[in-house]
A and B are shown apart, each in its own frame.
Chain A
Amino acid sequence: MNGVGREVLKYAMPWLVMAALLVIWQIACIVFDIPEIILPKPTRIFAVFVMRFDVLMAYCGDTLWTTVVGFLLAIAGGLLLGLAIGASPFVYSGLYPLLIAFNAVPKVALVPILMIWVGVGSLPAVITAFVISFFPIVVNVATGLATIEPEMRDVLRSLGATRIEILTKVGIPRAMPYLFASLKVAITLAFIGSVISETVGGNNGIGFLMLSASARNDAPTTFAGLFAIAIMGVLMYAVCALVEKRMTRWAFRGEIVG
């Protein structure tokens, strides 16, 4: 095989594998005569997906909205707290253990409490998304700050730089690649948080759509919702990966120019 063909195949591979899986799924459904209520055929899911496209999009829009708001809050909060933890040993020793303990709590457990506090609707989803995606951002930003080369710090200190100057001239630029690296993980988590909250106790969003469809034994719609979630998740991840590449070229020493 020539070089170009190889290259094309490399990029086509994931699509080919996916197509193959769908075909196997379809064949299995037909051959074993699986009832639609248990596992609908991919063609049927696709048909529902197209037929209910408007509804799906509307519910996806809700989920996207809560996810993005929670995620943006997590970036702001995570950046601030991460900088504080990375810059001050006192904040570090005071807060880090608590954060770790908090992170060990499965976030689904928070949803019922949030519902007591703020009721059903978008707010619990936003808060869950925020709470769950907050942690990796804090840890990454703090790590970025804590791993500044001591010599770099010494150069600035010997110039008479204040702590704030050291933070803005070295700390923040240094923490940026770590921040952007954490965004890919954080957006996925925020999305999970949103959907969990909608599924456990929501009245809109794609999670709620799936829940109510499954309550009606409408398996094709439930699966169409699942597909929509998968597509959204991949797209959001891709956006974050792209932003990361754009913003932190220096961290890759220019090797990645794509």
Chain B
Amino acid sequence: MPFVELEHVSLTYRLGKETTLALADATLGIERGEFIAVVGPSGCGKSTIMKLVTGLLPASGGDVKVAGQLVTGPIKGVGMAFQNPTLMPWRTTIGNVLLPMEVVEPHKRRFRRARAEYEARAMKLLGTVGLVDFAQKYPWQLSGGMQQRSNLCRALIHEPELLMLDEPFGALDAFTREELWGVMQALWLEKRFTGVLVTHDLREAVYLADTVYVMSRRPGRIVLSRKIDIPRPRTLATTFEPHFVDLVHELRDRIHQEHAQ
């Protein structure tokens, strides 16, 4: 049984009398430890799917299940990273990264006593993204790329079973972005969490995901599910191999069809 299951899920946003059907019919299953990517035209309901899976929004129709349980409210202990880093400007980088530890059980109970241990853990994680020297700096003293790396650390520190990434690399320059793909993949190979990545960058999707889902224009439906059978670890060199390029083209063609309609 898949870890995350969406069955004919739909969602309508309501503001007074005005309604927007954002998601028409999404059905997909994500295995435990699988990393998937969702791509599709802007406004097709990708962010909406993220909110549905984490229970931040209740579905208008259909069932969302995580670990066999029907999702009715926010599910606990998920790691989330959005396109803008949403770090707290009154906390240092390490303070931001430690936030989940203050909220998620069982860490929350031990946090005060074992602060040093947790700080060491945060420093180790910051080390993997090259931010050790910036641990005591405030987010507004960091560059956009550094903020995004801290954001990823915050999403990962409590080793969530489910990591939701909504265009986390979108605002970065191409070099930093490609560097972070490598970081992300290394973390995933080590921890094997279940990952959901929303992106506009098809190369990013193919680089990171085991399965890429393509969505239709709004109201969103899943129109293509493509297994990515490229062995890991994938490198930047991989992205220039013919098979990789073919996959990217295949996805691009499918999305173009959506735009053409």
Q: Is B43 an interface residue (CB 8 A)?
A: no
Per the bound structure, the CA–CA distance linking A152 and B74 in Å amounts to 14
Q: Indicate the member of B104, B140, B154 with the most A CB atoms within 10 Å.
A: B140
Pick from A151, A160, A251: contact of B76, CB under 8 Å: A160
Range class of the A interface residue count: 20 to 34
Bound together, the chains give a CA A65 to CA B158 distance in angstroms of 50
From B84, B104, B140, A159 is in contact (CB under 8 Å) with: B104
Structural contact, B54 and A158, CB atoms closer than 8 A: yes
Which of B9-17, B33-41, B95-103 touches A? B95-103
Name which of A9-17, A30-38, A77-85, A165-173 contacts chain B: A165-173
Complex CA–CA separation, A165 to B82 (angstroms): 21
Stretch touching chain A among B19-27, B86-94, B176-184, B230-238: B86-94
Contacts of B103 in A (CB 8 A): 156, 159-161, 165, 169
With A151-B82, A157-B74, A169-B99 already in contact, the answer to whether A253 and B140 are too (CB < 8 A) is yes
Max chain B Cβ within 10 angstroms of own Cβ: one of A155, A158, A160: A158
**Is B80 an interface residue when CB atoms closer than 8 A count as contact?**
yes
A56 to B160, CA, bound (A): 66
Q: Is the CB of A154 within 8 A of B140?
A: no
Assess whether B89 is in contact with A253, with CB atoms less than 8 Å apart: yes
Asked if B170 is at the interface (CB within 8 A of a chain A CB), the reply is: no
Bitwise, A130-166 to B at CB < 8 A (1) or not (0) is 0000000000000000000101101111111100010
CB closest residue in chain A, given B87: A152
Instruction: Give CA–CA (A151, B167) in the complex, Å.
Output: 13
Q: Is A106 part of the binding interface, using a Cβ–Cβ cutoff of 8 Å? A: no
CB neighbors of B among A220-258 (8 A)? 250-251, 253-254
Our pick among B74, B89, B140, B141 for the contact of A158 (Cβ within 8 Å) is B74
The chain B residue sitting closest to A165, CB to CB, is B103
Assess whether B78 is interfacial by the CB under 8 Å rule. Answer: yes
- A152, B154: Cα distance in complex, Å: 12
Pairs across A and B, CB under 8 Å, 14 listed: A149-B86, A151-B82, A151-B84, A151-B86, A154-B51, A155-B82, A158-B74, A158-B80, A159-B104, A160-B103, A165-B102, A169-B99, A250-B90, A251-B90
Given contacts A154-B80, A170-B88, A250-B138, 11 further A-B contacts (CB under 8 A): A149-B86, A152-B86, A155-B80, A158-B75, A158-B78, A159-B76, A160-B74, A173-B90, A251-B89, A253-B89, A254-B138
B residues lining the A interface (CB < 8 Å): 51, 54-56, 74-78, 80, 82, 84, 86, 88-90, 99-100, 102-105, 138, 140-141, 154, 158, 164
